[in-house]
Structure 1
């Protein structure tokens, strides 16, 4: 018999075991503790399927403080929804999801959001009452086109010859590059102090809807991440913090055999356009120093300073990441903010996969 119930202390051992079986990962209990229990906005709400003492399903909402207009409210990000293969197509996923919504609203969460796979998106829209806000476009800035071509041609000389006209076309498509006008002082950040709270208070009114970038959030999400070592640079001008950029690099295999080094702009916040330009110039120096092949970033349509990132060299790819939202309350005043793509400022720091 399957019983749906909230999380109890000690359930994490079975939850992690189910996660690793469903998603073919090797997650540890320590990682789970960091992700689900240590957020500065409280532990995640979890609805579990218990089959005679065995966890067979889960739906969660990870609380995040969201800037919505002039207010701050709690949103809940849906992550790690899963059901054991022997219990699928029995309605457990939908029932667990609705139970997680009930638990979440009791703890103050106003809306649910997430980045579902294409396979899960249809169920969210049709069965759970969610709405698709955006197919977040993935943008790319190409650094080493010749290396990518050489993997397929197995000749460095020929690859450089063939990649040259393509590089010219990319340069032509990108148009004239823009450059920062100020001379910033850049510092690498290992820990986010109170000056980041002061900076967030200065700039948050520029972003109608976004996750709060308080120091507590940045320390939990970036500085204290248990498995990823991010690179963060802060920009200073006239002795004052003007913005920061969080970077990630990783090696991935293309077609299972061609290794590529990929960079990602995980987060970037600046007080004005020139700060964005200066931050990416610093990021580009870093990425070139570690020899990445290309850099990825999210740029939503209408996103604050999104056009600036495009001018810096990012071109749109065919890849998309669905972003879906559901209001869990009867308060319709937040709808204009959470359902409007142009109000959102989304970066990969939002997603647990980065």
Structure 2
């Protein structure tokens, strides 16, 4: 029973104990939102977060949190400018308080902090709210897969795998290497290469350090490709190999000059070949499609082979596709550009899709 009017607000450090109790009710004790290291990293330390506190919207009733929405501020390279956007994540209302429009109210409040709002892997309920706010569903991300160990994959899927194992390429010249700090010429590289992507995350040094290089929980392999001592591209790999059934290499980010697509992908395959059974890459758009297919990747969004998406542990109960929808809040809507999904470049590391567990 509702005892008093619901209170909608941004969360603060003073709400820590209430949030812990809410997460226990909503998600159980093992969910990553119970880990304060993760929540502080995601909702407070993000370099694009200009809020004095946490980028969390909560609804309180009778001094208890009854609904919750996380939003991750992000700067987009948006055509010939930059725009502030927010990723909506972890939208949840306790069962006794559903049907009151709290989700819509929380999303509207968070939308004040960006020109656009976006979702990856959104629920049907979130999609309905977006559509009611004039948002647009652009379908599923591509999931490209390279088979690195066909026998292991065949044994796991328990049927004859029709896809071939990718070859182990011989690299003669350009080679990727793992780095712990960004190259001095990174800014010049990004300012040039970003023109390849009409709409994508503005990958500033500060963003990459926060997202990958200084991540408190995940050991990302940040790989740099140089030619003639000039930065030509980078890739970010996460190895998920804490189980005996299947070992995965996840290509969670990839940026390079178009002339180096094949070169960097061959280097990535060689880097992962002896470490994993398969390599996958979630992305929107068609920016790397030609090179991926030439090298031997296939689009599993079309093929539908039952290779899990969630590891640590392997979980087939989670849906295999990652959908994408957005809402542009401004009047001068560029619908012909925004509604073309091939103008957007997002990857698995965007939003909250690549979490520690």
- Equivalent position SS for 2:89: coil
Q: CA deviation at 1:324?
A: 0.4
Contact 2:175 2:267 in 1 (8 A): no
User: Is 1:271 aligned to residue 257 of structure 2?
Assistant: yes
Q: Which whole-Å CA distance do the structure 1 matches of 2:108 and 2:130 have between them?
A: 13
Decide which of 37, 43, 64 is 1:54's aligned counterpart.
Answer: 64
Equivalent position of 2:199 in the other structure: 209
Normalising by structure 2, we get a TM-score of 0.82
2:307: which partner in 1?
Answer: none
CA contact (8 A) 2:47 2:206 kept: yes
1:199-254 Cα shifts (integer Å, max 9, x gaps): 1011111111100111111000001212111111101111111101100111477x
Structure 1 gaps, min length 5: 154-161
Residue 170 (str. 1) matches residue 170 (str. 2): no
Provide the C-alpha distance between the structure 2 equivalents of 1:18 and 1:277, rounded to a whole number of angstroms.
47
Q: CA deviation at 1:50?
A: 0.9
Give the direction of change, closer, same or farther, for the CA distance of 1:244–1:112 in structure 2 (3 Å limit).
Answer: same
Other-structure match for 2:274: 289
Cα gap change, 1:316 to 1:99, in 2 (>3 Å): same
- 3-state DSSP class of the match of 1:79? strand
CA distance in 2 between counterparts of 1:324 and 1:16 reads 29
CA contact (8 A) 1:178 1:311 kept: no
The verdict on how the C-alpha distance between 1:151 and 1:323 changes in structure 2, with shifts beyond 3 A counting, is closer
1:146 aligns with 2:156: no
**Cα distance, 1:349 vs. partner?**
1.8
In the TM superposition, what is the alpha-carbon distance from 1:151 to its structure 2 partner?
Answer: 4.8
Shifted more, 239-248 versus 303-312: the winner is 303-312
| C-alpha spacing 1:23/1:141, structure 2 compared with 1 (3 Å) | farther
Structure 2 counterpart of 1:69: 79
Rounded Cα–Cα distance in structure 1 between residues aligned with 2:143 and 2:129:
22
Residues 1-354 of structure 1 aligned to structure 2 (within 5 Å): 1=4, 2-24=6-28, 25-26=31-32, 27-42=34-49, 43=51, 45-102=55-112, 104=113, 109-151=114-156, 166=161, 169-171=162-164, 183-251=173-241, 259-273=245-259, 275-290=260-275, 292-301=276-285, 303-317=286-300, 318=304, 319-333=320-334, 335-354=335-354
Give the total of aligned pairs.
326
For 2:110, what is the secondary structure of its paired residue? helix
Output one character per residue of 1:135-176: Cα deviation in whole Å (capped at 9) or x when no partner: 1122211122212333577xxxxxxxx85xx4xx5249x9xx
**2:147/2:153 contact within 8 Å kept:** no
Following TM superposition, by how much is the alpha carbon of 1:49 offset from its aligned partner in structure 2, in angstroms?
A: 0.2
Deviations for 1:47-66, whole angstroms, at most 9, x for unmatched residues?
21011222221223311110
Helix, strand or coil at the partner of 2:117: strand
Contact 2:130/2:326, CA 8 A, preserved across alignment: no
Provide the alpha-carbon RMSD of the alignment.
2.7
- Structure 2: which 5+ residue stretches go unaligned? 305-319
Contact persistence 1:252–1:262 (CA under 8 A):
no
CA shift at 1:329, angstroms?
2.1
In 1, Cα distance between equivalents of 2:168 and 2:134: 43
Distance across 2 between alignment mates of 1:98 and 1:280: 41
After superposition, the Cα gap between the structure-2 partners of 1:32 and 1:184, relative to the gap in structure 1 and judged at 3 Å, is same
Bigger helix share: 1
Runs of 4+ in 1 over 6 A off after TM superposition: 177-182
